[in-house]
Amino acid sequence: MRPLSEPKDIARLQQRAAEAGLGSISEKVLAGQRLSSDDALALYATPDYLLVGMLANHVRERMHGDLTYFNVNQHINYTNVCNKLCRFCAFQRLPKQEGAYVFTPEQVAQKITEQLGEPVTEVHMVAGIYPKLPYEYYLDILRAVKSARPEIHIKAFTMIELMQIARRAKKPLEEVLPELIEAGLDSCPGGGAEIFADRVQKEGYHLKNTGQQWLDTTRKVHAAGLRSNCTMLHGHIETQAERVDHLVRLRELQDETGGLQCYIPLSFHPANTEWSHLPGPTALDELREIAIGRLMLDNVPHIKAYWIMLSIPVAQLALSFGADDVDGTVVEEKIYHEAGATTPQGVARQEIENWITEAGRIPVERDTLYSVIWSGNEELAPVGSAAPVLG
Amino acid sequence: MIAPSEPRRPHGWQAPRASQGRREYSADLDKLEERVLAGTRISAEEALFLHEHADLLTLGRMADSVRRRLHPDNRVTYIVDRNINPTNVCLTDCGFCAFYRPPGHPEAYVLSRDEIYRKVQETVDLGGQQLLMQGGHHPHLLSDWWCELISDICERFDINCHALSAPEIDHFSVMEKRPLKDVISDLKEAGLGSVPGAGAEILVERVRKLIAPKKTTTDRWLEVHQRVHEAGLRSSATMMYGNLETPADRVEHLIRLRDLQDTTGGFTAFASWNTQPDGVPEEHLYPEKTTPAVYLRVQAISRIVLDNIVNLQTSYVTQGTKLAQVSLHYGANDFGGTMIEENVVSAAGCFNLESIPGLEAQISGAGFSPRQRNSWYGLINPAKDEPTGPTCREEAATHRAAPAGWISPSPSNSL
C-alpha cells in the first residue's frame, strides 16, 4: 500500500471522523480493513457528507490515484416489450401497447453499422423480457453485431435476460452460456440487481428474479469465464439496512468468484413510473451512495459514476467521492430517458475528458475489460496495459 | 457520438491533479488549513496558491469549516422573491449578455405599470419578501422613472425592492450629471430597500475592458457600493467568472470586495456563477463553459477569502439544484431565491427554477434546516428562541443610528 496522503492530512481526516463519531470506521479505512454492516449504517446516518466522501476518496486514490476511466460505447435496447411490470420502470411496454418495439437482427446490425465511423469499442445490449422471442433470436442478434463489427466487445444481457434465454433454450444456463459466447457474447452488464431483499422484490418487482437468483446467475456467468458488473437501484422504497444487505451480498459473491469488475449505484428516477410519487434521491444521496459503495466493496476494483443517470455535475463530483469510472460516450440510451433523465445523449469524448481533467483527475480510455486504449498519462497508465489497481 | 455544435477554445487552465497536489504541496496546504481553521485571514498569494494547488475535497473541508464557524446553527436560508426586468433596453452592449436589446430594436421592451403590478401581486400572494428588479442601461428611464416605480410599488404592496445594480446607479449619475450620493438618496427616499450585487463581472480593469468596455469601471463599481452602504442601505456582491480572467484575477476580485467590506461592512452576501456563453453576441470571444468542479473551487475559495462577508449564496438558477445542493457542503449557507421568472441567463439557455417545497427538500436533504429570510438575511417566522436578525433596511443599516436594542451587524456577527 502506497501512502498517498501525508500524515497531517490523515490526522485531519481522523479528527473530523472522531468529531462525527466515526473514528473507528476511519481507522479501519486507513488501515485497509473491511467495514462491517454496522459501519455502513453509520456512514448512511452521518450528516457529514464531506467526511464520507473523504474516506471513500482515500480508498479511491489508494487504488487508482487520479486515474479516471471512460469508454466509447453504444447502447442498443433491442426491445422494450416486457412482462415483468417492475414498478420503478418507465421503459417497459406490453406487446401491443403503443410504442412497443422489437429490433430484428438486421436492425441491430444496422444500428452497429451506423456507428462504424466512430471509434466505438463496446456495445451495451440490454432489453425487456419478451417471452415470444425464441432462443435463436438471442444468438442471432449477437451474431448480427459481430458480423457488422467483428472487433466490438459485446456486453449484453442482464441476469433476468439470461434466465429467460435459458428458459427459451430449454437447457440449463451452464449449457447456454458457451453457446452465447460462441455467438459473440463477451461479458455481462450489472443491471437488474435492483435491491436483493425479498421484501422489496415482492413489493416492487415480484415477477422479476429474486436477489438470490441474481447472485446465482452471476455466479454461473463467472464460472463460464465471463466478467460482469454489478449495480444497486437505490432511492425508492428500500431501507438503508436493505442497501447494506445488498452490498454485503455483492461483496460475498465477489470474495467467491472475483468476477465483478465494477459497481454502479443506479438512482431511481421516478418520472413516468408507478412510483412517480416518490421523490427519488438528491445529488448528495447519490454521492453518498457512490462513497459507501467504494468503502464497502473493497474487493471490487472499480466504482462507476454513470453520468447518463447522475447528470454531468454529480458524475464529476463523484470523482472526489470514490468513483474512478464514468461510463462512456453512450449513443442512444433509452431506459433512463423514458424515466425523465435529461442528460444530453452522446457526449463528445472531448467533453468527457475535459470534465474529468477539471475535476483534477487523469482521463483514461479503457475497453470493457479495463485495458488502456488511450491514456492521459502514459507513465501511470500505459496504452495496451491493464488498468493498474494499486492498493 | 454527437459533436458539440461549435467547438470553443479551451480555458487553458489546468486543474491541479487531486492526489498529486495533496502530496506535493502537503506541508503548505496544511499550514493554510491550520490558519483557516483558526479564523486567520489569508492573503491574495495564499488564495491563489489554494486555487492552483488544492484539490476539491481539501477546499471543501476548509470552506465548510468557515461556514460552520459563521453559521453554527445549521440553518440554510432562502428567499421567496421574484425577478422582474422592467426593460431590456441597454446601452452597454456587453458581449456576454444575450438578454439586452439596443434602443429601437424590434424586441426592445418596457413593461407597463399594470404588468409590473400583476407580477408583484403574484409574488405577494406567494408570501414573497423581495422584488429583484433590474433593467438595462436605458437612455431615458433614469432615476426619476425608477424612483416613481419604486414608490408606486411601496405604496401598493408590502414587499422590499431589491433593485438596480451599481452600473445602473452609475448610469443615472452620469446621464443626470449628479453625484452618486444624491441619486442614491433619492432612490432610498422612494423606498429602495437594498441593492443587488450585479454587474461586477470581474473587478479587474484588464478583463472589464475586454468583456464590458462600456460598463462601469472596477473603482466606480466599488464606489457605488460604498455610497450605497454609507446611505444606510445594504447590498450584495457577485462575481461572474469563466470568461477572460485568470485565476489571479478571480482572487484580485475577491480581495477588492474584502477590502471594501473592511471599510463599510455593508455587503450582506456574495454569490458567483460562471459565464453562460451560449448564443451571446460575442460568443466567439468566450472559452467553453467551465465545469461544476470549477464552480465549487471558486465558491470554496470565496468562502475562505471573504471572511468578513457573512453569507454565501449558491446559484441554483445557473448551476442547477443538484450542484447547488452539494455546494452547501462547500461553503454556501444560502440557496438564493425562488425568482419565479428569470430572463437574463435564461436568454443564454441557462434556466433552472425550483418550487418552495422543492427548495426546502434540497436543503433538508443536505442535512440543514431550511429557513425563509428577507433581503437583509433576517429570518421570517423564526422559532421561539431563534434570533430574528434585521426585519427592515433601517435595522440592517451599517451606517445609520440603529434603533435602540438592535446590535448593528459586524463581520463577526453571524446574522
Outline where B54-179 has alpha helix (H).
56-70, 113-125, 143-156, 166-176
Q: Is B1 on the interface with A (CB under 8 A)?
A: yes
Model pLDDT, residue A334: 67
Chain B residue with minimal CA distance to A115? B1
- Nearest CA to B119 among B109, B110, B108, B131? B131
Q: How far is CA B63 from CA A102, B31, B33, B69, in A?
A: 52, 15, 10, 10
Contacts of A362 in chain B (CB under 8 A): 17
Flag whether pLDDT at A373 surpasses 50.
Answer: yes
B2–A346 CB contact, under 8 Å = yes
Q: How many CB pairs lie under 8 A apart between chains A and B?
A: 141
Beta carbons of A354 and B326 less than 8 Å apart: no
Distance from CA of B278 to the nearest CA of A (A): 16
B294 — contact with chain A (CB < 8 Å)? yes
pLDDT at position A6: 58
- Subunit contact A9:B16, Cβ cutoff 8 A: no
Query: How close A190 gets to chain B, by Cα (Å)?
Result: 23
Residues in B touching A285 (Cβ below 8 Å):
365
Contacts of A287 in chain B (CB under 8 A): 326
* CA geometry: angle A304, A307, A308, nearest 5 deg: 125
Parallel, antiparallel, or unpaired for β A372-375 and A67-71? unpaired
B357 in reach of chain A (CB within 8 A): no
Residue A164 sits at the vertex; the CA angle it makes with A160 and A167, to the nearest 5 degrees, is 140
Interchain CB distance below 8 Å, A358 and B56: no
In chain A, which residues have their Cβ closer than 8 Å to the Cβ of B60? 50, 53, 320
CA-to-CA dists, residue B341 to A52, B248, B336, B353, angstroms: 36, 34, 13, 8
pLDDT reported for residue B402: 45
Closest partner residue to A360 (CB to CB) among B3, B15, B361 is: B15
For residues B180-216, b (16+ Cβ closer than 10 Å) or e, as one string?
beebbebbbebbbbbbbbbbbbbbbeebbeebbeebb
List the one residue out of B230, B237, B138, B140 whose CA is nearest residue B184: B230
* Residue of chain B whose alpha carbon sits nearest to that of A317: B293
CB within 8 A of B81, min separation 6: which ones? B123, B128, B129, B130, B131, B132, B162, B337, B338, B339, B340
- Model confidence over A154-168: pLDDT tens digits? 999 999 999 999 999
The Cα B85–Cα B109 span in angstroms is: 10
Place of cell 473493497: A298
- Looking at residue B36, its pLDDT comes to 95
Q: What is the CA radius of gyration of chain B?
A: 21
DSSP B197-221: -TT-S---HHHHHHH-TTS--HHHH
Cβ-count burial B133-172 (b if 16+ within 10 Å, e if not): bbbbbbeebbbebbbebbbbbbeebebbbbbbbbbbbbbb
Name the residue with cell 487553458. B12
Decide which of A118 and B262 is more confident. B262
Which of B335, B342, B376 is closest to B356 using CA atoms? Answer: B335
Give the model confidence (pLDDT) of A298-335 as tens digits.
999 999 999 988 988 999 999 999 999 998 876 656 66
Asked if residues A215 and A248 have their Cβ atoms less than 8 Å apart, the reply is no
Residue of B nearest to A358 (CA): B15
B289-314 in b/e form (b: 16+ CB < 10 A) is bbbbbbbbbbbbbbbbbbbbbbbbbb
Of A8, A311, A329, the CB nearest to B30: A8
Bridge-based pairing state of the strands A362-366 and A372-375: antiparallel
Q: What pLDDT score was predicted for residue A2?
A: 45
Q: How confident is the prediction along chain B (415 residues), in pLDDT tens digits per residue?
A: 334 445 566 677 889 999 988 888 988 999 999 999 999 999 999 999 999 999 999 999 999 999 999 999 999 999 999 999 999 999 999 999 999 999 999 999 999 999 999 999 999 998 999 999 999 999 999 999 999 999 999 999 999 999 999 999 999 999 999 999 999 999 999 999 999 999 999 999 999 999 999 999 999 999 999 999 999 999 999 999 999 999 999 999 999 999 999 999 999 999 999 999 888 999 989 998 999 999 999 999 999 999 999 999 999 988 999 999 999 999 999 999 988 877 766 666 655 677 888 899 999 999 999 999 999 999 998 888 888 899 999 999 998 644 445 454 554 444 4
Q: Which of A53, A282, A314 sits opposite B362 (nearest CB)?
A: A282
- Local structure of B132: helix, strand or coil: strand
pTM of the model: 0.91
Which one of A1, A4, A50 makes the best mutation probe of the B interface by having the most chain B beta carbons within 10 Å?
A50
Three-state DSSP at A222 gives helix
Give the ranges where A151-239 is alpha helix by DSSP (H): 159-169, 173-183, 198-204, 211-223
Closest C-alpha among B293, B344, B340, B299 to residue B318: B344
> Given this model, what pLDDT does residue B158 score?
97
Q: Do B61 and A8 touch (CB under 8 A)?
A: no
Chain A CB contacts of B19 below 8 Å: 4-5, 61, 65-66
* Whole-number Å distance between alpha carbons of B78 and B306: 20
DSSP per residue, A347-383: --HHHHHHHHHHTT-EEEEE-TT-BEEEES-TTTS-T
Q: Minimal Cα–Cα distance from B22 to chain A, Å?
A: 7
Is B288 in CB contact (< 8 Å) with chain A? yes
Distance in Å, alpha carbon of A339 to nearest chain B alpha carbon? 17
pLDDT at B4: 43
Amino acid letter at B97? Answer: C
Residue A311 makes CB contacts below 8 A (sequence gap 6+) with A283, A342, A343, B320, B322
- ipTM of predicted complex: 0.89
**Interface with chain A: mutation pick from B13, B322, B351, highest number of A CBs within 10 Å:** B322
Other C-beta atoms lying within 10 Å of the C-beta of residue A337: 17
Partners of A360 on chain B (C-beta within 8 Å) are 15-18, 21, 55-56, 293
A320 with B57: Cβ contact below 8 A: yes
Q: Report the alpha-carbon distance of residue B223 to residue B212 in Å, rounded.
A: 18
**Contact across the interface for B14 and A287, Cβ inside 8 Å:** no
Is the CB of residue B359 less than 8 Å from the CB of residue B338?
yes
- As given in the structure block, the three cell numbers for residue A42 are 453509520
Residue B238 at interface with chain A, using a CB cutoff of 8 Å: no
Interchain CB distance below 8 Å, B366 and A72: no
Q: Is B68 on the interface with A (CB under 8 A)?
A: no
Do B293 and A57 lie within an 8 Å CB cutoff?
A: no
Q: Helix, strand or coil for residue A147?
A: helix
Which of B18, B30, B288 lies nearest to residue A360, judging by beta carbons? Answer: B18
Q: Do A358 and B291 count as a contact with CB atoms less than 8 A apart?
A: yes
* CB contacts, 8 Å: A66 with chain B: 17-20
Cell numbers describing residue A366: 479503457
Task: Cell numbers for B413, please give them.
Answer: 456577527
Asked if B61 and A12 come within 8 Å (Cβ–Cβ), the reply is yes
CB contact under 8 A, B7 and A350: yes
pLDDT in the model for residue B301: 98
- Say which of B1, B57, B362 has its CB closest to residue A348: B1
- Which of A6, A284, A3, A310 minimizes the C-alpha distance to B58? A6
pLDDT at B401: 43
Q: Which residue of A has its CA nearest to B14?
A: A358
Among chain A residues, CA nearest to B25: A6
